[in-house]
Structure 1
């Protein structure tokens, strides 16, 4: 049996008739940019998350860098962020000229709250909270710290569509929640797409102006903006997916509960789930001390895996200029050497799940 690390075709075929009908509806409408599909999606996604406002954008990275731009965070400012995030989180900070200040992750792969305050300086202007792998971060103490030091909070929710902390969804705690709808996300489009959520009418309006060349109305430009518009086709298809998001997340939960309950290999550390949170399992990430050996074994069984992420941002060539040297973030670096994402996708059959579980348990018998 051959199993890919991810399959997007299964997620399409499950609702193929709805997706195709919506695509034809949009194509036949003759309106393809900032029309009723985008407006409807924005309303529906805001309602789903519990936010007052949602603004659709071209992609998740745009959501991040525009967020810091509109919060006036740039040259000379510092933003606290966890070290083990995807590099796009950091790019959202540095595109504006601000400096990322890295904090180690906790055992849940999210920012270690106990290590935030020691990183705060007179230059600190914000905390970027990344809800990694679909699990909500420890938001109450983060917000207390932010309020204590008068810091802005931006949430990177690219992997946490529907995840919650104490019953409240990610993207609704801070000033701005930033979402990606890249096809592999739990709420994925059929190309690039993104959005922000906020409870501030002023921030929402600023995003709507900025995403459209800085124009409030055609040819009347209020600011120097950009072109970052969620298009009508993607918005329409996202509306279809959003109408099924609960069942899609429940499906992932079922698969991951099987992994948690049935994988039993002492050398493979299974993910923990924080109390009072609901994870949406964007990835099922284990840690293995001899990751290369495990990958080779799973490859021999034709089971695909992915490493999220092999090079932490501070060790990437792009951020050499930050002068954060190897060894300065030992937990982040340890995670980068040990993490491995097991196959997880919409439409993964019970037999496929069982094959992965049994193969991993057999691996444990031979090491």
Structure 2
């Protein structure tokens, strides 16, 4: 048996005929940058999130960077984010000239919001909580707290398209929400893409200029901008996929339930929290493997045809690129401990219960063999 870690090709098959027709239409019209496919997707995604507007950009990293630029973040500013995020979150902060300030995660892998409050200084311009692995950070308390202090809340929603908390979609809790449409995301393009959503007309207007060399009208450059536009071919795919997003997220939750049923009694695993709401869309199904057995389990599953991954094996502060921030080993104990234990099991909408059962059986077999050797 071979079980894929993710399967964006399955989603492609769901939209293939309609998407190829849309691509042919783009080709016939000869509008290969911008145009109706982009504006129509932006409107549809904003409506889906119940936000005032969406600005499509080149990728998820640009989404964060341009959101920070729209706020005027720059040198002498500080931006707080999680130590266990993907490097792109911190890279976007770095390239504004601001200092990334890192915070440890809690037992659910999400930024510790109480620690965030302890890190705020007079230079803090923004906070970027990361909705990691598909689960939303609980922003109910921090959002008004930050607003009272004039600190912008920018959500990193790269892994949380379609998630919501108390009926409010991921991306709408802060002044801006940043999305990645990398192909394996819950809402993924057939290439790269990203978006910033906001209910601030001021931010939407500024972002539309920033992504397009500083102006919305050709040769009228009102501010210093960049070239980061969502491709119309990708926008066409995203609009088609958006129709399936809720169903696909429900399918991911169903797979997560199967995992919990079949793995619930496996003593050396810590399973992710499962809440009966929409706050978790299971972009990834991440378990923690105790007793230093993570790498051995990964190899065992690979030999059995089960592909797994580790997101992310090294916390940001331990990467050479960010050694200059001055953090040291032990500064973020949860992030460092979990980096050595986490393992992402296969999770995609084409998975079956039988595949989950097979994975669980192999995990139990592996653990039983370890116990036998130990005795």
Which residue of 2 is the match for residue 292 of structure 1? 295
Deviation, structure 1 residue 104 = 1.1
Matches of 1:276 and 1:346 in 2, distance apart?
19
- 1:171-190 to 2 correspondences below 5 Å: 171-190=171-190
Corresponding residue for residue 77 of structure 1: 77
Q: Which residue of 2 aligns with 1:273?
A: 274
Aligned residue for 1:178, secondary structure, equals strand
Counterpart contact for 1:189–1:234, Cα < 8 Å: yes
Matched, 1:351 2:354: yes
Deviation at 1:274, TM superposition (A): 5.4
SS of the residue 2:177 aligns to: strand
For these two proteins, the number of residue pairs brought into alignment is 367
Q: Is the contact between residue 262 and residue 357 of structure 2 (CA under 8 Å) also seen in structure 1?
A: no
* Match of residue 91 from structure 1: 91
Instruction: Give secondary structure in 2 for the equivalent of 1:155.
Output: strand
TM-superposed CA distance for 1:300, in Å, is 2.0
| Unaligned ranges ≥5, structure 1 | none
Q: CA deviation at 1:150?
A: 1.9
Q: Please give the secondary structure, in 1, of the residue aligned with 2:343.
A: strand
Take 2:156 and 2:20, find their aligned partners in 1: how far apart are those partners?
31
1:24-39 equivalences under 5 Å are 24-39=24-39
Q: What is aligned with 1:232?
A: 232
Q: Kindly state the Cα deviation for residue 214 of structure 1 after the two structures are TM-superposed.
A: 0.6
Contact kept? 2:15, 2:237, Cα under 8 Å: no
Query: How is 1:1-367 mapped onto 2 (pairs within 5 angstroms)?
Result: 1-263=1-263, 264-273=265-274, 277-289=278-290, 290-367=293-370
Matched residue, 2:373: none
- Cα drift, residue 24 of structure 1: 2.2
- Contact 1:108 / 1:273 at 8 angstroms: preserved in 2? no
Aligned-partner Cα distance in 1 for 2:195–2:354: 36
Q: Distance in 2 between matches of 1:365 and 1:359?
A: 10
Inter-partner Cα distance in structure 1 for 2:114 and 2:195: 30
**Mapped contact 2:255–2:352 kept (Cα < 8 A):** no
Shift in Å, 1:364:
3.1
SS at structure 1 position matched to 2:216: strand
- 1:108·1:274 contact (CA, 8 Å) conserved in 2? no
Cα distance between partner residues in 2 of 1:221 and 1:148: 34
- State the shift of 1:277 in Å: 4.8
CA distance in 1, matches of 2:56, 2:266: 43
Q: In 1, Cα distance between the equivalents of 2:24 and 2:356?
A: 35
Contact 1:252 1:345 in 2 (8 A): yes
Give me the whole-angstrom Cα distance separating, in 2, the residues matched to 1:304 and 1:19: 29
- Do 2:51 and 2:172's aligned partners in 1 also have CA atoms closer than 8 Å? yes
Taking a change above 3 Å as real, the CA distance of residues 273 and 354 of structure 1, as seen in their structure-2 partners, is closer
Secondary structure of 1:55's counterpart equals strand
**Alignment RMSD, CA only?**
1.4
SS in 1 for 2:5: coil
- CA distances 1:37-77 after superposition (whole Å, capped 9, x unpaired): 11100000001111111011011100101111110111111
d(CA) in 2 for partners of 1:79, 1:273: 30
Q: TM-score, normalised by structure 1?
A: 0.97
Tell me the distance in 2 between the aligned counterparts of 1:241 and 1:216: 27
Q: TM-score, normalised by structure 2?
A: 0.95
1:205-249 deviations in Å (ceiling 9; x for gaps): 111111111123111111110100101111011111001111111
- What stretches of structure 1 move > 4 A for 4+ residues in a row? 274-277
* Counterpart Cα distance in 1 of 2:278 and 2:10: 28
Check whether the contact 1:58–1:193 (CA below 8 A) recurs between aligned residues: yes
